[in-house]
Structure 1
Amino acid sequence: MIKNYIKTAFRGLMKNKGFTFINVFGLALGLATCLLIVFYVFDELSFDRFNTKADRIYRVNNEIKFGGTENSYAVCPAPAAAALKADFAEIEQVVRFRDRGGNQVKKGNKNIVEDRMVYADNSIFSVFTLPMISGSTQNALTEPHTVVITERMAKKYFDRTNVVGQTLTFNDTSLYKVTAVIKDLPKQSHFNFDFFISMPTIDESKEDVWFSNNFNTYILFKEGVDIKKFATKLPAFMHKHAGPQMQSIIHLTFDKFEQSGNYFRFALIPLKDIHLRSGSIAELSANGDIKTVYIFSAVAIFILLIACVNFMNLSTARSSNRAREVGVRKVLGSPRKYLIAQFLTESILVTLFATLIALLAAWLFLPQFNKMSGKELVITGQILSWLLPTLLLIIIIIGCLAGSYPALYLSAFQPIEVLKGKIAAGFKGGIFRNFLVVFQFAISIFLIIGTLVIYNQLKYIQSKDLGYNRDHVMIVRNVWSLGNSAKSFKHEVQGLAGVQNASLSGALPTGGYGNSSTMFKDPVIDQKRALLAQIWPVDEDYLPTLGIKLVAGRNFSKDVLTDTAALVINEAAAKMLNFSNPIDQPLYAPNDNLVKTLKKYRIIGVMKNFNFRSLKDNITPLIFTMNEDRGAVSVRIRSTNIPAIIQQIKNKYNSFSPTQEFNYSFMDEDFDAIYRAEQRIGTISIAFTSLAIVIACLGLFGLAAYAAEQRTKEIGIRKVLGANISTIVGMLSKDFILLVLLAIVLATPLAWWAMHSWLQGFAYRQSIQWWVLVLAGGGAILIAFVTISFQSVKAAIMNPVKSLRSE
């Protein structure tokens, strides 16, 4: 029986090759899109889950409100980890990371810049799952100047992995002994380092300072610990350990400090939530966003629903052609359940073909999707182990769901009415089909509006006046490797014919340096007269090189010796300080982390606010000091021959240090990298929206064919009575356009609300323009009309003689 069902279904499908192709193609397109999104979502949700103890690992965040600003930091004080383990029996182990940037590693006669370096406690191997290839985890990072490297780095520097006991030279001066080699970290990790340097190497790790936050701290809890209950103990812990230093620094108890509206507190975030739900300052890498996962998941479901709706529409569109078949089958004694089984078999067969094509298409388009999403997705055996059973289930579910309406609809025809030709109720009789068309186009319009808003916001970001000029600014990195020659290198570069100006500083608005500190308006430490701000050491050429404008006072000058104790502040800092005239006003900064003494500074200038962080954040207080920082040299180029000037700068760099690697980028590229996630969302949204429209149009094409088919005789009679082609096309199109208008009315407010919520994530954003809604609606109507017109014109130009003889 089943064999007969399959054979009959196959014959029926091949009899109508055009509709079968559209059916399979539409469903395959929807399934392929859904599969790609599933791969993306699965990858995003799998971050850090390779750790066998992931459910018990939490990071300690530090939330601070002081000096008029509040922030959440992914880092803690150095002594916090040891104190937490000592005070709480619930904690099994703790580990700290200290990210101080990269170093240059010698390979032969060359120095290679390696940025993926971090200092770590030896307990890292007890907390995280880092499989060993060679060496032992017991004491791998307990001694100073020891390092654990990944398999990739072992092969890069030694051409083998058995390198325990070998040494690596950092920055031409420091020797580090390799004590172990671990497997490369999975891509789905919120930190991806290749060098883990022993924490005892740096004295900073031994400091007992509770108000200097530089260490990413992780807790491994014992099994069965109630985390919410544990979190209630953290305020008392902070009072006990940080309280004495707070008392000595600002002469306030913790209670008084908090009563004034400030806070200094710890918060816990699960390891599994860090990648998608954390956006704190000093994250170890760029994180994802759970909103993106939700959006893409919803899009996948919507597109799959559109594809299923198409199947229903296209199947019922051929109902009149199958009506006589159903009537004859019933007259010959075929029960309704056999007819339902027959139609469901056809549906499952179409779904099977579509799924196979979708799987092949997803595999073929995966490399292109990786480029758009910035992922490195591959279809592995692990993925296939759950994907194939899932696809089998999808074939059955979608086949039955998508085929249920056509099966029940077609099998319900009464033989007498069918054979008398009374089943053609016309387009207006298909209320459920009309609902499906509205549903399809509502989703399509929703996606069109969303895509236009995202595109608009990205364009706004690219064109917004940030308060500095990032065009034609070349950033030469790792200038610290030049040592005392860094300043000479800057002056040599300034002398080049194609260079307008150059500045020596690691502090850049596109990322690099980010040190927060507190300044006071008086020589006496008073929290009510404190300012928490970013403090950037720069030189006298920084402002002119980056095109930052002054609104009051003057810039630093190398000819004024007292400028080493001078400050240039931004408008946000000036507003918070509330000086009537900030020029020449004093500010006092701590000389050390314990704030035992203060150093006096004098404000000499106020610069215009500029966005030195993401446009998702408001501009906060920023203060420049005139101090040497050899992090990078920013070079403003005026030459039109960019490659030639780059080569000249490289030659200058190599003349100072022939063995060092020349590393550079352009500031506008670095700026774009900050918003790469949003740009990828925009690109993927355009692709998904286009696919949704194509799939929706396939369904509309089928319904247009159905409507034209049902009204063949009516069209013939109208033509005989003198109706022209435009009248007939308008008649056939009117009902569909009304449905699209209804979809616009339903989708527009929902899309506005959703995109308004998305835009709230940006401190600087454009409002949703009225023309976006009009363009989306007009575009949907135009697309629908073009799709419908193909069938309408075809029906309108048909010879009326053939139309009236169609029976």
Structure 2
Amino acid sequence: MLKNYLKIALRNLRKQRGFAFINILGLAMGLACCLLITLYVVDELSYDRFHEKANRIYRINSDIKFGGNDMHMAVSPDPMGPTLLKDYPQVENFVRLHGRGTWLVKQTGKANSLRESDILFADSTLFDVFTLPLVHGNPKRALVEPNTVVISESAARRHFGNQNPMGKTLLFDNRLTFRVTGVMRDMPTNSHFRTDFFLCMRSDNYEWGRWLSNNHQTYILLKDGVDPKQFSKNFETIIQKYVGPQAFQFIGTTMNEFRKAGNRIDYSFIPLTDIHLHSKQNIELAPNSDIQYVYAFSAVAVFILLIACINFMNLSTARSANRAKEVGVRKVLGSVQHQLVGQFMTESILLTVLSMVLALVIVQLAIPFFNDISTKQLTISNLFVPQFLPILLLLPLVVGLLAGSYPAFFLSSFRPISVLKGKINLGLKSAGLRSGLVVFQFMMSVILIVGAMVVYRQINFIQTTKVGFNRDQVLTINEAYALGNQTQTFKEEVLKLPGVLNGSVSGYLPVPSNRSDSPLFPEGEINQSGAVSTQQWGVDYDYIPTLGMELVKGRNFSREFGSDSTGVILNETAVKVFGFKNPIGKRVMQMQDNEGKKYKAYTVIGVVKNFHFESLRQNIGSVALFMDPNRGAVSFRLSNQDIPALVKQIEGKWEQMAPGMPFSYSFLEDSFDAMYRAEQRVGQIVLTFSVLAILIACLGLFGLAAFMAEQRTKEIGVRKVLGASTSSIVGLLSKDFLRLVLIAILIATPIAWYGMNQWLQDFAYKIDVPWWVFVLAGLVAILIAFATVSFQSIKAALTNPVKSLKAE
């Protein structure tokens, strides 16, 4: 029986090649989109699950409201981990990580350094908590001794070639020597943090024991059976026992008084496997994604697959007239309904199997482009892993059953006597269902078009909005500390080059980085009510003009004023939080020690206009600029002349003063844009799949239009004989479809408006969704639908009426 089903199915596919082509291509595109998005979603959901103890590992977050700032951070105080392990038997172990950014690294005795990023300090318990296999070294001892380092296999090849690196030393920033005590396998890409270097935490030059400083990512490994929600209630005891006394010493107030004033300090757990998609904290070790994108892309995959299935159902039911007599004859000869259903379902599944084969070819061709816009490293081989194979095998079967179920039962239900007498018009019988499915297709297409347009408008708003400084053509040279004491000389030499307008030495730039806030106090108010949590940046005399910032009051730092070493420039937010009506000349106090016993007074000499130094998702916080150049970076403002040639000249100056050191630079505009790469990727992906969704929908519309034109062949002939014009016939055949598209637009508009407004809530600075976005999306859908339908309509309208009237 199955052999007979397949033989007849293949015969029908050969007989209706155009119908088969449209169905196979539409389904293949839908399946390919579904597979690509499924690969993306599975990868996103797999983050950090490679750790054997992942279900028991939790990171401690800090939520602090103090001094006018409400901070949500992925870090906690350095004593938190050791204290929890000491005080609570429910804790099996802990590990702290401390990011120290990018360093220049070379093998001791070598001339040239390599720029290595995302270097981390880690406790010796690292390998007890996380699953990071070592190929060389003892995980129990690897990070116990100071000045030891564990490197990845990739780092070992970069610095030691084919040599065994164990016991050899690496020089960091030409000043710190670390001995290699372990080589680990490269960390998987699906980790919320990645590094090639773990340095012993005991080597970190840090003031330990500070409960009021939050600088370490702290991970806790709970014992089996411990309820994390119940255990997290112990944080209140930690606050009262340890944080409270330091807070009292620091600002002279108890924790109860601190909270009554509207301030708070809270700690919480987040499961390790939730960090990548669910954490919205600041000071992450690496940028995270968002579970909303996973939901959105999953929905897009389902919608595109549904659109492809709808095409199949629409075309199959529409073409039923051509199979009606076949069904009638089969029933007269004794075929029962379940045999007919089996025949049509076999045809449907055969079609989906062929579509799946074509879909895999499309995925293989499209995956490099998809990886480029999603920044993933997916391969088609990911589809053939054991956990994915069942999906790959079941998907065509499920899609075949879903897409073919209605046509099968619809066709098999025809009454043979009525069919053979030609008393029913089977092709139009299910027009209501087909209309509803067309509306659904174009409704989803319009929603995707609106989504892509709003994402791009928000990104454009971010890129063009005034951020309080001029980010154009500012060249930043990283790791300027490689210059040693020649930093200022380097700056002066570069400023002599034609085309270099200004320059500044400072590691503090208005782009996100691992900075933390510290309190400043108005003179005479060293208490919690006077404290203002403030970003405190060390800059030089040329910082403000180099970055094109605007002073709204007072003056900039000047070499003419020797007292500027005790001067400070505040931004408008800081002035507002301090409550200064006339800030120039006011004095603020900066804490000089960890115990809150020594303070230094600074006089406000200027007020700088607010500038964005974090993402536009956040409001502008308080910033204080001090005369204290940090040698981490040197920035230069360049003119509009030949930038590449100018950069080459600056590189020449660098090589003269820092031989063997890599010349690493970036443009401030690129660093600013990097904050929104996630949104840019989302916009590109949504736009791509919007185009594909519309294309698949149009394939179905094309087939339906061809069928409807065929059904009305004689009507068209009669109308032409009676004098109807080509345009009137095109309008007649097109208006029904365009009416359905209009209905889809009306339904899609409120849904798209609500969804995009929800997405925009993540931004403190955002666009209003304009009405014309919906109009434009609707016009695009109408024009595409009209172009699709009118092709068949014009073809039918131009047919010789004599041939049309002879057609029977």
Q: TM-score, normalised by structure 1?
A: 0.98
Match of 1:115 in 2: 117
Find the counterpart in structure 1 of residue 165 from structure 2.
Answer: 163
The Cα offsets for residues 579-610 of structure 1, whole Å up to 9 and x where unpaired, read as: 11111111111112322221101111111111
Alignment of 1:368-767 (within 5 A): 368-380=369-381, 383-424=384-425, 427=428, 430-512=431-513, 514-767=515-768
Determine if contact 1:490/1:502 at 8 Å carries over to the other structure. Answer: yes
**How far off its partner does 1:254 sit?**
1.1
Task: Tell me what 1:150 maps to.
Answer: 152
Alignment of 1:9-408 (within 5 A): 9-107=9-107, 108-160=110-162, 162-204=164-206, 207-380=208-381, 383-408=384-409
- The one-letter code matched in structure 1 to 2:573 is A
Q: What amino acid is aligned across from residue 134 of structure 2 in structure 1?
A: M
Cα distance, 1:161 vs structure 2: 6.5
Report the Cα offset of residue 381 of structure 1.
6.1
User: Which one-letter code corresponds to 2:727 in the other structure?
Assistant: S
Quick one: which amino acid aligns to residue 762 of structure 1? F
Instruction: Provide the rounded CA distance (Å) in 2 between the counterparts of 1:433 and 1:62.
Output: 55
1:11-30 deviations in Å (ceiling 9; x for gaps): 10111111101100000000
Q: Residue 142 of structure 1: CA displacement? A: 0.9
Q: Which amino acid aligns with 2:258?
A: F
Structure 1: how far apart are the matches of 2:336 and 2:610? 79
SS at match of 1:527: coil
After TM superposition, the structure 1 stretch with the greater mean CA deviation from structure 2, 392-401 or 715-724, is: 715-724
What amino acid sits opposite 1:725 in the alignment? T
The one-letter amino acid of 2:197's match is: F
SS in 2 for 1:96: strand
Q: CA deviation at 1:175?
A: 2.0
Q: Separation in 2 of the partners of 1:203 and 1:748?
A: 57
How far did 1:802 drift? Answer: 2.3
Structure 1: which 5+ residue stretches go unaligned? none
Q: Is the 8 A contact 1:117 1:193 kept in 2?
A: yes
Indicate conservation of the 8 Å contact 1:552/1:606, yes or no: yes
Query: What do residues 193-217 of structure 1 show as CA deviations (whole Å, max 9, x unaligned)?
Result: 1111111112426x22111111111
Once the two structures are overlaid, the 10-residue window that deviates more, 389-398 or 288-297, is 389-398
Secondary structure class of the residue paired with 1:529? coil
Whether contact under 8 Å (2:321, 2:426) holds in the other structure is no
CA contact (8 A) 1:99 1:117 kept: yes
Which SS does the other structure have where 1:466 is aligned?
Answer: coil
State the partner residue of 1:772: 773
Paired residues, number = 806
Query: SS at the partner of 2:626?
Result: strand
**CA-to-aligned-CA distance 1:235-259 (integer Å, 9 cap, x gap):** 1111101111111111211111112
Aligned equivalents of 2:511, 2:89: Cα separation in 1:
43
C-alpha distance in 1, partners of 2:360/2:30? 11
Tell me, yes or no, if the aligned pair for 1:24 and 1:350 is still in contact at 8 Å.
yes
Task: Check the 8 A contact 2:537/2:625 in 1, yes or no.
Answer: yes
Shift of 1:192: 0.7
- Is 2:62–2:266's contact at 8 Å kept on the other side of the alignment? yes
Amino acid at match of 1:436: L
- Residue 407 of structure 1, CA deviation: 0.8
Q: Distance in 1 between matches of 2:635 and 2:134?
A: 41
Q: Distance in 1 between matches of 2:415 and 2:793?
A: 30
- 1:350-405 Cα offsets, whole Å, 9 max, x none, are 00000111112112211111011111112346853233321221111111110011
CA distance, structure 1, for counterparts of residue 766 and residue 640 of structure 2: 34
Deviates more, 1:256-265 or 1:624-633: 256-265
Q: Does the 8 Å contact 1:161/1:181 carry over to 2?
A: no
CA offset digits 1:166-201 (Å, max 9, x no partner): 111222232211111110000011111111111111
Q: Provide the rounded CA distance (Å) in 1 between the counterparts of 2:41 and 2:318.
A: 35
Structure 2 letter corresponding to 1:76: S
| Alignment gaps of 5+ in structure 2 | none
Amino acid at match of 1:4: N
Q: What is the DSSP-based 3-state SS (H/G/I as helix, E as strand, rest coil) of the residue aligned with 1:232?
A: helix
d(CA) in 1 for partners of 2:411 and 2:171? 78
Asked whether the equivalents of residues 317 and 430 of structure 2 are also in contact (C-alpha less than 8 Å), the reply is no
Q: Structure 2 CA distance, aligned partners of 1:728 and 1:628?
A: 77
Q: Secondary structure of 1:457's match? A: helix
**Residues 1:436 and 1:161: Cα distance change in structure 2 (over 3 Å):** farther
The separation in 1 between residues aligned to 2:384 and 2:96, in whole angstroms, is 33
Deviation larger for 425-434 or 753-762: 425-434
In structure 1, distance between residues paired with 2:8 and 2:383 = 37
| 2:802 corresponds to | 801
Runs of 4+ that moved beyond 3 A: 379-383, 425-429
* Shift in Å, 1:425: 5.6
Paired amino acid for 1:664: Y
C-alpha separation between the residues in 2 aligned to 1:595 and 1:499?
A: 44
Tell me the CA shift for residue 773 of structure 1. Answer: 0.6
Distance 1:383 1:488 in 2: 59
Contact 1:504 1:628 in 2 (8 A): yes
Measured in 1, the distance between the counterparts of 2:383 and 2:753 equals: 40
| 3-state secondary structure, aligned to 1:385 | coil
Query: 1:630 is aligned with what amino acid?
Result: R
Distance 1:381 1:614, change over 3 A: closer
More off after superposition, 182-191 vs 252-261:
252-261
Indicate the SS of the match to 1:94. Answer: strand
Flag the 1:397–1:383 CA change in 2: closer, same or farther, 3 A.
same
- Say whether the 8 Å CA contact 1:320–1:710 is kept in structure 2: no
